[in-house]
Amino acid sequence: MMRILVFGTATFAIPSLELLVANGHQILACVTQPDRPQGRGLALKPSPVKSAALGLGLAVEESQDLKTSLARFHTLQPEVGVVISYGRLIPSEGLSLPRYGMLGVHPSLLPKYRGASPIAWAILNVEQTTGVTVFRLNERLDAGDIALQQAVTIEPQDTAVRLSERLARLGAELLIEAIGLLERGEVSFKPQDERQATYAPKLTKAQGQIDWHQSAASIDRLIRATIPWPGAYTDWHGQSMKLWATSFDSHNHTTHRQPGEVLSVSPEGLVVATGEGKLLIQELQVAGRRRMTARDFLAGHAIKVGEILRRR
User: Could you say which DSSP state residue 49 is in?
Assistant: H
User: What CA–CA distances, in Å, run from 256 to 39, 231, 236, 272?
Assistant: 42, 29, 21, 13
Same domain, 190 and 272: no
User: What CA–CA distances, in Å, run from 53 to 32, 46, 47, 141?
Assistant: 10, 11, 10, 26
Structurally, the chain folds into a number of domains equal to: 2
Say if residue 163 is exposed, middle or buried (CB neighbours under 10 Å; 0-12, 13-18, 19+). Answer: buried
What value does the mean pLDDT take over residues 162-171? 98
Angle at 1 between CA 183 and CA 74, to 5 degrees: 85
Q: What pLDDT, on the 0 to 100 scale, is given for residue 252?
A: 67
**Of 138, 164, 196, which residue is a domain's last?**
196
Same domain, 280 and 172: no
312 within a domain of the structure (yes/no)? no
Same domain, 105 and 16: yes
User: Could you say which DSSP state residue 253 is in?
Assistant: -
The upper half-sphere exposure of residue 151, i.e. CA atoms within 13 Å in the direction of its Cβ, equals 8
Express each pLDDT in 197-229 by its tens digit. Answer: 999 999 999 999 999 999 999 999 999 999 999
CATH number at residue 285: 3.10.25.10
Same domain, 218 and 247: yes
Q: Which domain holds residue 265?
A: 205-300
**Of 177, 196, 215, which residue is a domain's last?**
196
Residues facing residue 278 across a β-bridge: 249, 273
Same domain, 125 and 268: no
Express each pLDDT in 1-17 by its tens digit. Answer: 999 999 999 999 999 99
Q: Does the pLDDT of residue 40 top 90, yes or no?
A: no
Same domain, 273 and 150: no
Same domain, 154 and 244: no
Q: Mean pLDDT in the chain? A: 95
CATH number at residue 65: 3.40.50.170
Span between the terminal Cα atoms of the chain, in Å: 54
Other CB atoms within 10 A of residue 100 CB: 18
Same domain, 166 and 115: yes
Angle at 131 between CA 249 and CA 109, to 5 degrees: 115
Same domain, 233 and 272: yes
Same domain, 92 and 114: yes
**Of 167, 196, 225, which residue is a domain's last?**
196
Same domain, 211 and 169: no
In one letter, which amino acid is 106?
H
pTM exceeds 0.85? yes
307 within a domain of the structure (yes/no)? no
Q: Does the pLDDT of residue 96 top 80, yes or no?
A: yes
Determine the Cα–Cα distance for residues 48 and 295; give it in Å rounded to an integer.
32
Write the CB contacts of 220 (distance below 8 Å, at least 6 apart in sequence): 246, 247, 248, 279
Of the candidates 275, 263, 267, 268, the one whose C-alpha atom is nearest the C-alpha of residue 311 is: 275
Same domain, 174 and 261: no
Q: Does the pLDDT of residue 254 top 60, yes or no?
A: no
